[in-house]
């Protein structure tokens, strides 16, 4: 069966930040209760790529705009793809190094989604609800760690 080009959904790309502290805990953030896609769940800091932006640029921007810090990309943890109602989303998690600052939420940027809480944790189970509700950034990290979240 040939797919009609008018039914092909536009592609969107996003990145998520996997930031560990010196005790091996990762930084989790909580979305607001009025978040459109995943209200109130814990996940990873993430950002959608803007036109002409590389993954690395988006990670650095997410650090600044969502956590108030300077980050450097170390490596890619993994990538997942999902069909959304109006687009196809490809998301990659990136392990990062904190170069400057102390993470804090929310930040004073109105043009990007902000988080209402954050914590460092070793508990990957904190991401399960988001993963089950469709969060690709949570799925990527859980899958990379071999965590059974299904």
pLDDT by residue (tens digit) across 50-69?
A: 999 999 999 999 999 999 99
Residue 100 has pLDDT above 70, yes or no: yes
% residues pLDDT > 70 (the chain) = 96
Classify residue 3: in a domain, yes or no: no
Residue 1 has pLDDT above 70, yes or no: no
CA dihedral of residues 37, 43, 45, 50 (deg, nearest 10):
-30
146 phi and psi angles, rounded to 5 deg: 70, 25
Classify residue 1: in a domain, yes or no: no
Classify residue 4: in a domain, yes or no: no
Classify residue 149: in a domain, yes or no: no
pLDDT at position 138, please?
A: 98
Q: What's the chain's average pLDDT?
A: 94
pLDDT at position 111, please?
A: 85
Which pair of tokens denotes residue 92? 């990659």
CATH of residue 50: 3.90.79.10
Classify residue 2: in a domain, yes or no: no
Q: If pLDDT is split at 50, 70 and 90, which confidence band does 110 have?
A: confident
Classify residue 150: in a domain, yes or no: no
Q: Which domain holds residue 76?
A: 9-144
Classify residue 15: in a domain, yes or no: yes
* Count of domains forming the chain: 1
């Amino acid at each position: 069966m040939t797919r009609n080009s008018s039914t092909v959904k536009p592609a969107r790309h996003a990145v998520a930040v996997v930031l560990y502290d010196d005790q091996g805990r990762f930084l989790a953030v909580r979305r607001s209760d009025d978040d459109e896609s995943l209200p109130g769940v814990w996940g990873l800091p993430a950002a959608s790529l803007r036109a002409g932006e590389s993954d690395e640029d988006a990670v650095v921007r997410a650090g600044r705009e969502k956590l108030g810090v300077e980050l450097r990309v170390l490596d890619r943890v993994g990538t997942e793809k999902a069909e959304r109602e109006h687009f196809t989303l490809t998301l990659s998690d990136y392990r990062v190094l904190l170069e400057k600052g102390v993470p804090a939420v929310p930040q004073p940027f109105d043009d990007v989604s902000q988080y209402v809480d954050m914590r460092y944790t070793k508990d990957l189970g904190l991401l399960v609800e988001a993963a089950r509700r469709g969060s690709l950034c949570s799925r990527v990290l859980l899958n990379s760690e071999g965590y059974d979240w299904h």
